[in-house]
């Protein structure tokens, strides 16, 4: 790939992340508070997942986005309540579930169930041992929306949510 059109594309991508002046920012994410950035990312992921689900498929992407939306929603709560700093959240995926249990957002048993679900998805869908189904996509999107709603109500910050419905 070196010295090919891929090399040029890689250079362009690197520059795009380094020189952001004058870029078009994603709507609803231009908030200064770090916790709200995580919340709004969760909102946007849920919107994107629902849009893709309504458009005839993309089950794997819907499932992936739903898992990330769950993580973002929990990260929002941890940051908002001061249980974690932005740097603390740069762990592996399952750590955020454990942190959620540590601050009593849910029980250790509940965290274990979330972790098992995540691992099962990684093992089976991500590595293509099985193909993602519509039923799995619907179940994961429902779970992600439920976690999002619960945390917003729990934190009394429903008004900061930018989900359309
Ligand atoms: Zn939302």
Mean pLDDT of the chain: 89
Task: For residue 73, name the pLDDT band (cuts at 50, 70, 90).
Answer: very high
Question: 161: CA distance to ligand 1 center in Å?
Answer: 4
**pLDDT > 90? residue 131:** no
Question: 59: CA distance to ligand 1 center in Å?
Answer: 21
Question: 62: CA distance to ligand 1 center in Å?
Answer: 16
Name the 3-class secondary structure at 91.
Answer: coil
Task: For residue 75, name the pLDDT band (cuts at 50, 70, 90).
Answer: very high
Q: Give per-residue pLDDT as tens, 21-60.
A: 888 877 777 777 888 999 999 999 999 999 999 987 789 8
Between vectors from CA 105 to CA 133 and to CA 132, what angle results, nearest 5°? 5
Question: 77: CA distance to ligand 1 center in Å?
Answer: 13
Question: 51: CA distance to ligand 1 center in Å?
Answer: 14
Question: 56: CA distance to ligand 1 center in Å?
Answer: 23
Name the 3-class secondary structure at 2.
Answer: coil
Name the 3-class secondary structure at 138.
Answer: helix
Q: What is the pLDDT of residue 8?
A: 95
Q: What is the mean pLDDT of residues 73-94?
A: 84
Q: What is the pTM of this model?
A: 0.87
Q: What is the pLDDT of residue 116?
A: 93
User: What CATH code would you report for 29-160?
Assistant: 1.20.120.330
Those residues with Cβ within 8 angstroms of residue 53's Cβ, 6 or more apart along the chain or in another chain: 59, 62, 137, 138, 141
Element (H, E) at 94: helix 93-102
Q: What is the pLDDT of residue 81?
A: 92
Closest CA to 107 of 98, 95, 94, 120: 98
């Amino acid at each position: 790939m070196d010295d090919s059109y891929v090399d040029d594309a890689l250079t362009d991508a690197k520059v795009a992340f380094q020189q952001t002046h004058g870029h078009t920012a994603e709507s609803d994410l231009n908030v200064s508070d770090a916790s709200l950035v995580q919340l709004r990312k969760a909102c946007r992921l849920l919107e994107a997942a629902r849009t893709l689900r309504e458009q005839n498929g993309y089950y794997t992407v819907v499932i992936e986005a739903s898992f990330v939306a769950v993580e973002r929603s929990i990260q929002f709560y941890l940051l908002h309540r001061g249980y974690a700093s932005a740097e603390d959240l740069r762990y592996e995926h399952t750590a955020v579930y454990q942190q959620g249990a540590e601050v009593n957002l849910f029980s250790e048993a509940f965290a274990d169930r979330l972790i098992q679900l995540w691992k099962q998805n990684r093992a089976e869908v991500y590595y293509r041992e099985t193909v993602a189904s519509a039923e799995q996509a619907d179940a994961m999107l429902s779970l992600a929306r439920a976690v999002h709603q619960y945390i917003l109500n729990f934190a009394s910050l429903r008004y900061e949510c930018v989900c359309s419905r």
